């Protein structure tokens, strides 16, 4: 893909680590899902960090957030926990290209809360990540609240998938428990929590927009759905009164870096909005300036 030289580079807030080592920890439904459900290109050899960086460079992406995901309780069909060390090692190798988000499992209770604290304080993770549908617990379930409280204490955001469940494994189909309206309870109970609803919120994107508009610390991330298919209301929100409340992501390899960036740039957002959406909003939300990441000029 040929791109014009831009005066800023994007930051991708949702990326799956896809190295050979990482794939060893993923279940065997991966190939079937990516070929069948999202028509993705994937081989068992995976994507090396160096190959990922080359693709990021071509797309004009400076940093990606790698997820040490927890998808359901270990032992259930199709579920897995990505070891945090897989991500921390990648970040240590390329600290100027990657940051890490660590997944939470609500069934781990206070052991999980203590692990989250250790992952942030001692392993360098900058945020938490949650897949509610894998646990079949809506985001406002009591089991999550100790984790939410710890996120506030650590001053880190938590991403969580909202909208319908895209993924299922044989013998373990995931119900769609992530209606964005459930975030209303969480944000009312814990207004200090920096909460990001990922996957746009589709098909309940209007609810997600409403939650982001209502609550100061609720944000939207636009990963996993190709920009050319986003509902027009989402584009209008990004380009107007929601321009400070939405961040860019791909959920690579669900979406590819180059094509996703190109589709955003072809839509014709206002220049200042494009900078906020694709870079500055996530820098401010995650406090990346303290890590040496510079804001793009918004004049």
Residues 6+ apart with CB under 8 A from 229: none
> How confident is the model over 31-76, as pLDDT tens digits?
555 555 554 565 667 899 999 999 999 999 999 999 999 988 777 7
Confidence of residue 3 (pLDDT cuts 50, 70, 90): very low
Beta strand 80-81 pairing with 70-71 = antiparallel
pLDDT for 103 equals 98
CA distance 200 to 230: 8
b/e code 213-239 from CB counts within 10 Å (16+ = b): eebebbbbbbbbbebeebbeebbebbb
User: Domain locations in the chain?
Assistant: 10-291
CA distance 211 to 234: 13
CA distance 283 to 99: 12
> How confident is the model over 248-280, as pLDDT tens digits?
999 999 899 999 999 999 999 999 999 999 999
* Residue entry with tokens 């206070």: 110
Tell me which fold the domain 10-291 belongs to: TIM Barrel (3.20.20)
């Amino acid at each position: 893909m040929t791109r014009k030289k831009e005066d800023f580079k994007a930051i991708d807030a949702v990326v799956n680590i896809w190295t050979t080592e990482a794939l060893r920890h993923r279940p065997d439904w991966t190939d079937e899902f990516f070929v069948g459900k999202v028509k993705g290109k994937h081989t068992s050899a995976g994507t090396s960090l160096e190959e990922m960086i080359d693709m990021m460079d071509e797309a004009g992406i400076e940093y990606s957030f790698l997820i040490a995901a927890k998808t359901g309780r270990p032992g259930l069909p199709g579920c897995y926990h990505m070891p945090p060390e897989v991500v921390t090692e990648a970040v240590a190798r390329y600290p100027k290209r990657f940051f890490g988000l660590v997944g939470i499992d609500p069934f781990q209770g206070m052991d999980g809360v203590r692990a989250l604290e250790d992952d942030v304080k001692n392993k360098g993770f900058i945020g938490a990540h949650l897949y509610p549908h894998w646990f079949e617990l809506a985001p406002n379930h009591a089991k999550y609240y100790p984790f939410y409280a710890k996120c506030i204490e650590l001053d880190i955001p938590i991403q969580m998938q909202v909208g319908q469940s895209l993924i299922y494994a044989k013998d373990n189909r995931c119900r769609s428990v992530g209606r964005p309206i459930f975030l209303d309870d969480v944000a009312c109970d814990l207004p200090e929590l920096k909460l990001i609803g990922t996957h746009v919120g589709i098909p309940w994107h209007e609810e997600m927009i409403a939650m982001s508009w209502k609550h100061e610390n609720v944000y939207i991330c636009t990963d996993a759905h190709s920009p050319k298919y986003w509902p027009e209301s989402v584009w209008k929100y990004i380009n107007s009164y929601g321009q400070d409340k939405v961040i860019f992501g791909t959920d690579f390899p669900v979406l590819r870096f180059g094509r996703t960036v190109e589709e955003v740039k072809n839509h014709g957002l206002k220049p200042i909005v494009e900078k906020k959406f694709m870079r500055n909003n996530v820098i401010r939300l995650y406090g990346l300036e303290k890590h040496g990441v510079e804001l793009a000029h918004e004049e």
